[in-house]
């Protein structure tokens, strides 16, 4: 495994639609492992392939529990992820992004989503996510469509040194 370099806006790869993965090969497995390591080193809670310069539809998310800080982290690797169901409820909250260093913004997202895609073995997965996990999935899937949070944020501001946000 290797830590890959994270690309920042306005790099073109972050502003274009990523291509669907049609074959899960050895190169895909290496990319997945590298993305997991890159996410952990960053550290962050979610990373999309375009953020390491690869224009492919692949995300990794590692997150625990909104309510319980000590809950074990759960790792999700989703190839060709799609949101197939959303709640009617929308929630506004603060986001930051590894590709937009030093900035934060308020973004409105669905309170809950159902995501479908493939795991790293090519098997179909379906994930019900709510709260922060739902937000992370929406943020990462946006990356695959060339959208960064600053494109839809209502308010954007520069983080002060002492402010600490988990990046996605």
Q: Does 18 help bind Ni ion (rule: CB under 5 A)?
A: no
Distance CA(135)–CA(61), nearest Å, equals 11
- How many residues sit in the footprint of Ni ion (CB under 5 A)? 2
- 97 lies in the binding site for Ni ion (CB under 5 A): yes
What span, in angstroms and rounded, lies between the C-alpha atoms of 35 and 32? 5
Shortest Cβ distance from residue 127 to Ni ion (Å)?
A: 18
Closest CA to 17 of 147, 162, 132: 147
**Binding to Ni ion (CB under 5 A): which residues in 139-168?**
168
Q: For residue 159, what is the DSSP state?
A: P
Using the structure block, give the residue that is written with the tokens 């603060």: 94
Q: Is 96 in the site for Ni ion (CB under 5 A)?
A: no
Q: How far is the CB of 51 from Ni ion (least distance, A)?
A: 6
140 as an active site residue: the answer is: yes
Beta bridge partners of 107: 93
Q: Which residues would be at the binding site for Ni ion (CB under 5 A)?
A: 97, 168
Q: Looking at the annotation, which residues are catalytic?
A: 140
């Amino acid at each position: 495994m290797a830590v890959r370099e994270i690309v920042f806006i306005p790099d073109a790869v972050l502003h274009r639609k990523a291509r669907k993965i049609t074959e899960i090969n050895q190169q895909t497995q290496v990319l997945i492992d590298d993305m997991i390591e890159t996410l952990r080193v960053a550290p962050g809670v979610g990373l999309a392939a375009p953020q390491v310069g690869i224009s492919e539809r692949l995300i990794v998310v590692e997150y625990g529990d909104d309510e319980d800080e000590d809950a074990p982290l759960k790792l999700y690797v989703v190839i060709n992820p799609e949101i197939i169901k959303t709640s009617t409820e929308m929630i506004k909250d603060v986001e930051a992004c590894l590709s937009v260093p030093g900035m934060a913004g308020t973004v409105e997202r669905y309170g809950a989503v159902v995501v479908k895609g493939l795991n790293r073995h090519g098997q179909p997965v379906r994930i019900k996510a709510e709260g922060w996990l739902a937000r992370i999935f929406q943020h990462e899937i946006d990356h695959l469509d060339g959208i960064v949070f600053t494109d839809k944020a209502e308010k954007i501001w520069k983080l002060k040194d002492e402010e600490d946000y988990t990046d996605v």
